[in-house]
């Protein structure tokens, strides 16, 4: 039971970061299709760059590969500590940047 809840938290943390980046990209672009395209190209690019980093750096691919061990109870929630921290930082940064850009975009003179 504990492993299942921790795995759900890990996947939720990844989805939180993707969602925050998606809302920010949506605030930056005027077209929905363009926003979705830019988001997924950026996510795939960043994911690829993180996979080629040495073992000492956190990688979403390595974190997702640990989920089956976590479900079996072989790992603890502390193995995902870096994932939760990185996801929170990415989400907060994307949200702050998106709010700043969207507020300037909405209240521009002449609109």
Tell me the per-residue pLDDT of 21-78, one tens digit each, with 9 for 90 and over. Answer: 888 888 888 888 888 899 899 888 888 888 788 877 767 677 777 777 777 777 666 7
| Better-scored residue on pLDDT, 24 or 10 | 24
Is residue 111, in this structure, part of any structural domain at all? no
Q: How far apart are CA 66 and CA 64, in angstroms?
A: 5
Has residue 99 got a pLDDT over 70? yes
Is residue 18, in this structure, part of any structural domain at all? yes
Q: How far apart are CA 21 and CA 43, in angstroms?
A: 9
Q: How confident is the model at residue 101 (pLDDT cuts 50, 70, 90)?
A: confident
Q: How far apart are CA 28 and CA 97, in angstroms?
A: 10
How many other CB atoms are there within 10 angstroms of residue 39's CB atom?
Answer: 19
Q: Please, are residues 43 and 17 in contact by the beta-carbon 8 Å criterion?
A: no
Is residue 76, in this structure, part of any structural domain at all? yes
Per the structure, how many domains does the chain have?
1
**Pair of tokens at residue 90:** 């990415």
Q: How confident is the model at residue 110 (pLDDT cuts 50, 70, 90)?
A: low
| Better-scored residue on pLDDT, 100 or 66 | 100
Tell me if residue 102 falls in helix, strand or coil: helix
How many other CB atoms are there within 10 angstroms of residue 63's CB atom?
Answer: 22
Q: How confident is the model at residue 93 (pLDDT cuts 50, 70, 90)?
A: very high
Residue 60 lies in domain: 2-106
Q: How far apart are CA 39 and CA 45, in angstroms?
A: 10
Average pLDDT over residues 83-93: 88
Residues 6+ apart with CB under 8 A from 80: 6, 9, 10, 13, 63, 66, 70
- Please report the pLDDT score of residue 83 as a whole number: 77
**Pair of tokens at residue 11:** 């996947």
């Amino acid at each position: 039971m504990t492993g299942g809840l921790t795995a759900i938290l890990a996947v939720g943390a990844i989805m939180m970061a993707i969602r925050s980046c998606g809302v920010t990209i949506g605030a930056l672009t005027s077209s929905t299709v363009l926003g979705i395209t830019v988001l997924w190209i950026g996510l795939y690019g960043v994911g690829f760059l993180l996979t080629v980093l040495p073992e000492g750096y956190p990688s979403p691919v390595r974190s997702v590969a640990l989920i089956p061990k976590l479900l079996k109870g072989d790992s603890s929630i502390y193995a995902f500590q870096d994932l939760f921290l990185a996801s929170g930082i990415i989400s907060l940064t994307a949200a702050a940047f998106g709010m700043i850009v969207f507020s300037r975009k909405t209240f521009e003179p002449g609109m």
